[in-house]
Amino acid sequence: MVDYPTLHKTVASLTEGEHDAIALMATLACEVHHSDDRFDWTGFYRVVAPELLKIGPYQGGHGCLVIPFARGVCGAAARTGQAQLVPDVEAFPGHIACASSTRSELVLPVWDGTGTLIAVFDIDSDQPDAFTQTDADELSRLLHATFAR
């Protein structure tokens, strides 16, 4: 289980004074990925055009390069602006299998300080039903503290 208080403090310390979104994404992806063995792939898909995500900084095996808002769990998070907590990716309509090992997924929208959607934060697990509402809430709080300041 993630030690969220320590993760929040570590990320805040590492990113203090940094405003470059890519640098922040790289740091956060690394810290979150290594905070829990459940996290098999951890990274960002950046909003690069209307209704289009492209891969950003990540940890783990290769990811999909491009994801339209209309497809998959990442697209659903971007399209709706809501966290997507998916216990079984096979049961998610339109799931995109970037990695065949993925069994469950948590995707969170990432907003900047003006309220603009800049990315989604995607965490995949090779375990079914790996994520909890606490994970979604704590990681949403971490994203807000890092990107919306």
| pLDDT per position as a tens digit, 38-57 | 999 999 999 999 999 999 99
Any residues with CB less than 8 A from the CB of 113 and at least 6 apart, and which?
A: 147, 148, 149
Band of pLDDT at residue 96, cut at 50, 70 and 90: confident
Give the domain range for residue 53: 4-147
Q: Supply the pLDDT for residue 149.
A: 84
- Which CATH number is 88's domain given? 3.30.450.40
Report pTM: 0.96
Number of folded domains that form the chain = 1
Band of pLDDT at residue 7, cut at 50, 70 and 90: very high
pLDDT over 90 percentage in the chain: 90
Hey, what amino acid is at 124? D
SS3 content of the chain, % helix, strand, coil (to 5): 35, 25, 40
